[in-house]
Structure 1
């Protein structure tokens, strides 16, 4: 076999190997994407479960429902049936939308002394948020969130959005209440719609609690869901003047 034929054979082998490697990479990427968005049917509360209420009683009353949850949003101790919690009662109030997890249930004696798990030296306060402001319902007890505030600057009278707190622990997700919102179009027509708002309970020190309570009455709050590695350095926020600046 002359040199030219050898080079052609080598080129064909390299091309075939490259095709196989590309195929394997694409298939692996597809598998990773599917795994990321794959959901698991887990038990979630659809009605409030009171402290001391037996898991069997809650299920019989229709307060539990299997619902799909993305794998990345699964909490430690999630349940797919009540069998793993048989004979237990709720240690704290479980709000609609919360995943049913083992740490929220225990024996009757434990329920008698259980309270909201507020970290030492902290306060617990609740704020009322829309679904979009609480990351479409992905915020759950134990989540870490950044708090943003949208309001109007008292000096410039210009609207802004700015980071208020870098990292806050969520203690509980409360009941959802529909709130009527009326909007007016340019031709004067009014449209009223029901928007759900949900109570979120946070663990804060006194200073941050004051900030959140004031901000909630002087504008709109919004949460951003964090991971352990999320870093949000403070900045001056965004106004209409620099909205499109890089």
Structure 2
């Protein structure tokens, strides 16, 4: 084969290769263009969310919305509903317009909730009460928990002593620092002993009327919490006294 024929063959191969490369590029461009039109619905933050803010509180405050975004921009772990992160808190800042991804959320023990700004649901206020471990359900009441609040009024506080449900269902916004108080007990023999009792600050989301009830209950009675859920049945039962305790 002479030199001219060799050059013609090489030119034909190069031309075919060039044509193939152009076809592959056009095909890839079509795929990229199509991906821009294919969308996926994901949860996006509508407002800034601070570290330590619970998913439940942010949701109640209206800080999430479902939005269609291009399929090729969906982040790993992006959430497509408001159930996937139930019970978790923000581990870092989540900014308005940002996709809500699982990596930025975790358990309440992974972040100091009380050292950050908490989200207060619309129409509510944050009120803090100081409770012992048994009064806060042995520590099971966590940020995002739904709780009922009970009050027991002792004879030395008011003329009428009783126990009853004070608030049927409120949300725990935060669980704060623990301090220790001492209580003095006197035996029948007249001996006095002191016992340390740890107390923990618990912040609740309440209405104005509920806050007033908590203030009264804290001043004149003893508060305690009960964990509840959507299936818990709570009725307006009468207050319990020594006269109807066993009825």
Report the TM-score, using the length of structure 2 for normalisation: 0.54
Residue of structure 1 in register with 2:148 after alignment:
146
Structure 1 segment 84-99 matched on structure 2, within 5 A: 89=92, 98-99=108-109
Residue 185 (structure 1) shift? 1.3
Q: 2:209 aligns with which of 207, 210, 217?
A: 207
Structure 1 segment 145-164 matched on structure 2, within 5 A: 145-152=147-154, 157-164=159-166
8 Å CA contact 1:98, 1:173 repeated in 2? no
CA distance in 2, matches of 1:153, 1:195: 22
For structure 1, the residue ranges without an aligned partner over 5 or more in a row are: 1-50, 54-73, 79-84, 92-96, 105-110
SS at match of 1:134: helix
Moved over 3 A (4+): 74-78, 88-91
Residue of structure 1 in register with 2:175 after alignment:
173
Residue of structure 1 in register with 2:22 after alignment:
none
8 Å CA contact 1:145, 1:226 repeated in 2? yes
Length, aligned pairs only: 152
8 Å CA contact 1:174, 1:200 repeated in 2? yes
SS at match of 2:134: coil
Residue 75 (structure 1) shift? 6.5
CA distance in 2, matches of 1:182, 1:200: 24
Report the TM-score, using the length of structure 1 for normalisation: 0.55
CA RMSD of aligned residues (A): 3.2
Residue 158 (structure 1) shift? 4.2
Q: 1:185 aligns with which of 187, 191, 198?
A: 187
SS at match of 2:215: helix
8 Å CA contact 2:88, 2:108 repeated in 1? no
SS at match of 1:241: coil
Measured against aligned partners, the alpha-carbon deviations of 1:135-167 in whole angstroms (never above 9, x if no partner) come to: 00000000000010110479x934211110110
